[in-house]
Chains A and B, each alone.
Chain A
Amino acid sequence: MRTGSRSAKIVTAVAAAVVIAVVWSGCAPPPAAPTEPYRAPRTAGGAPDLNGIWQSLNTANYDIQAHAARPALALAPAPPRTGAPGLDRATPIALPAPQVRALGAVGGVPAGEGVVEGDEIPYLPAAAAIKKENAEHWLERDPEIKCFMPGVPRATYMPYPFQILQGTDTILMVYEFAGTTRTIHMNDVVDSPSETWMGLSRGHWDGDTLVVDVTDFNDQTWFDRAGNFHSNALHVVERYTPVSPHHLMYEATIEDPNVFSRPWTISMPLYRRFEEDKQILEYKCVEFVEEAMYGHLGLIDPGTGQANK
């Protein structure tokens, strides 16, 4: 019975390995599939409690689609080098544009997996061309550079924390960047009298999920630093779902018939900033951009002290 005892030894060895593996992993064996989703604690008023300071942790603000690392946000192609003996470089190389070159690795763009479900943004053909132009003219066109309000959903995944404050009938989203604040109306509210940067937000609860319907946008914001954009017909539906005491799952469905052929969705975790006494600090960046925007327009350039031509 040599085979049998050898099989038995193998089986025993495998079983032992499994036991060892389980013991080594330091956890109990995984439980059966959970039958109930996480249920958030309640506020004193009985609503799911999403109060706190949250922050995304990804590269979506660089580019919401999957992307390789690249040298800089603004690139200039090095022209092909041909005709000189021993030198023959037919393919242009993308180098950092002169305006950003000195930043070196601080100015580079890290790689990222993207947050768009399916990774495809369904641009209409004419709009796809505009997106490409936006990317090529990032330095002149990205509203983030000028400290303009970031719009929705970009505000959620900029590299700054934001705070959710649940009042009576009103939920505030307080973003650090440019002192931007959104008011989520939990009761009836009339349409906004004008187009706005951050939209008009109407919220309601779907179980533990805060659903926010956002309309009344202008066409001025981008979705990231890669030139993804929208028109003033933009309509966004966000879902904030608590999945643990320290995590929300965030989804945003974007619809804009002037720009996209169908709605599309992004999603990402949001992480609680649970450091004691954490606060949203000021990033009042208008002051930071005045020199770039206006320095050359007056009689004197404060940056140099010289008269402007």
Chain B
Amino acid sequence: MRTNLAILLAGLGIAIAAVPVSGHHAFAAEFDANNPIKMSGTVTKMEWINPHTWIHIDVKQPDGSVEPWMIEGGPPNALYRRGFTRDSLPVGIEILVEGFRAKDGSRRGNGTDLTFPDGSKLFLGSSGTGAPR
């Protein structure tokens, strides 16, 4: 019975009722699951908008030049409820992005995993920066 329940609950993570738990996302239409990206950049702007937040970062290139990228995050509403606001991700802070590149090859990606350089997760409130006040 426990095994059945574990299977059941695992199944709950994926569409029992035919709607993914993470809500709407035509992920595979926008982003290329075969083209992972991993980069660090400094935040120049964060758009706290629906349906997805967007974090603009400047990514330093080996030759010293800087490339602007747009990274798609999840929706902001749950973060608001945990006390985060438009000031929570300060301009100039460095973040690490692991995700997938936009299918059309533009400088856009999806931020599947967003962390700080010390390894702590963004927006989890325990590392100080980005913590709710």
Contacts and interface: CB of A to CB of B under 8 A. Distances in A.
Interface string B22-49: 0000000000000000000000000011
Contacts of A194: 48-49, 76, 80, 85-86
A51 B76 CA distance: 33
Contacts of A195: 48, 86
A193 B76 CA distance: 10
Interface in B83-122: 84-86
User: Chain B binding site: helix, strand, loop or mixed by DSSP?
Assistant: loop
Contacts of B49: 194
Nearest to B87: A193
Contacts of A193: 48, 76, 79-80, 84-86
B82 to A, nearest CB: 10
Interface string A165-192: 0000000000000000000000000010
Interface in A178-226: 191, 193-195
A36 B86 CA distance: 47
Contacts of B85: 191, 193-194
Nearest to A191: B85
A191 B85 CA distance: 10
B76 to A, nearest CB: 7
A123 B38 CA distance: 47
Contacts of B76: 193-194
Nearest to A194: B48
A154 B125 CA distance: 39
A179 B79 CA distance: 24
Nearest to B77: A193
A58 B117 CA distance: 57
Nearest to B49: A194
Contacts of B48: 193-195
B120 to A, nearest CB: 22
A46 B80 CA distance: 34
Contacts of A191: 85
Contacts of B80: 193-194
A21 to B, nearest CB: 63
A186 to B, nearest CB: 21
A194 B85 CA distance: 6
A259 B78 CA distance: 34
A195 B76 CA distance: 12
Nearest to B88: A193
A194 B48 CA distance: 6
Given A194-B80, A194-B86, A195-B48, 13 more contacts: A191-B85, A193-B48, A193-B76, A193-B79, A193-B80, A193-B84, A193-B85, A193-B86, A194-B48, A194-B49, A194-B76, A194-B85, A195-B86
16 contacts: A191-B85, A193-B48, A193-B76, A193-B79, A193-B80, A193-B84, A193-B85, A193-B86, A194-B48, A194-B49, A194-B76, A194-B80, A194-B85, A194-B86, A195-B48, A195-B86
Question: 3 shortest A-B CB distances, which residue pairs?
Answer: A194-B48, A193-B85, A193-B80
